Amino acid sequence: MSAEQLSPRLESLVQDSRAALERAVSEYGDVVYSNSLGAEAMVLTDLICTYVPEIEMFTLDTGRLPDETLALLDRVERRYQRRIRVYYPDAKSIESYVSDNGINGFYLGIEERQQCCHIRKVEPFKRAVAGRKAWVTGVRREQSAERALGETFSWDERYGLWKVSPLLEWTDEDVWAYINARNLPYNALHDKGYPSIGCAPCTRAVEPGADPRSGRWWWENPESRECGLQPRRRVIPLKVEPRRAAGQ
Ligand code: SF4
């Protein structure tokens, strides 16, 4: 790593995050990273591939992802010369859902939307972590009041394995400083006003300064806006700055 490109703060964050990942492997052995392909995921992918490559990576292809996200997956695999396992929804469940609700049934109501998220995200995620000892996630303290109270290592009651959060102390600015310093790939939609990127029909750009997650399931009440992978949370509005130029 070109350490001279990193500020002392970033150097310290990298060392702490690396130590957390190494401790996870040494304590739990069987550790898997759920790669969201978001900005934080680019940092974690780089740290894992550089320092702790024994951690397996997977991602969820819901079948409704933007082209830009799939293009990023390809670029990440080429950069690190390793495959990221892709989990897909159960085809019969999707067929049944679409038959009952239509191809865009998630717009009908919260129940239909959460059902879609369950089929396309939660169930494949459960399959991906089944039998594992620990999973890694890129949550950060500043993202919400609940995440602000998070711990680097915690027992995930919901899925029955340890949850490791090595980026808790990173700010949005830290994430982008690292991406720029390391010339990491990132989703092209970030440069078009999308701070948080999910499925194409359920994500839209936000105005500068708006809550970063306000572009997700924007037609719903903020209280219901979660996909089921993480606990329900109250979002703290954060200032969204336009992305600085960074190499692809
Ligand atoms: S984000 Fe939208 S399209 Fe994606 S799984 Fe949830 S409801 Fe379905």
Q: What is the pLDDT of residue 230?
A: 67
Atom 4 of ligand 1, nearest CA residue: 199
Question: What is the Cα–Cα distance from 205 to 185, expressed in whole angstroms?
Answer: 20
- How much distance in Å is there from the Cα of 61 to the middle of ligand 1? 11
The pTM for the full model equals 0.88
Atom 2 of ligand 1, nearest CA residue: 202
The ranges of the chain with pLDDT < 50 are 1-3, 232-248
- Tell me how far the alpha carbon of residue 68 is from its chain's centroid: 15
Question: Model confidence over 122-145: pLDDT tens digits?
Answer: 999 999 999 999 999 999 998 877
Ligand 1 pocket mutation pick from 111, 121, 199 by most atoms within 8 angstroms of CB: 199
Q: What is the pLDDT of residue 27?
A: 97
List the structure tokens of 216: 């997700």
Question: What is the Cα–Cα distance from 111 to 41, expressed in whole angstroms?
Answer: 29
Residues 6+ apart with CB under 8 A from 211: 235, 237, 238
Q: Is 202 a catalytic residue?
A: no
Residues 6+ apart with CB under 8 A from 243: 176, 190, 191
- The domains of the chain, with CATH numbers, are 3-195 (3.40.50.620)
Question: What is the Cα–Cα distance from 67 to 79, expressed in whole angstroms?
Answer: 18
Q: What is the pLDDT of residue 237?
A: 38
Question: What is the Cα–Cα distance from 119 to 111, expressed in whole angstroms?
Answer: 12
Atom 3 of ligand 1, nearest CA residue: 199
Ligand 1 within 6 A of CB of 121 = yes
Vertex 231 angle, CA 69 and 101, to 5°: 60
Q: What is the pLDDT of residue 121?
A: 97
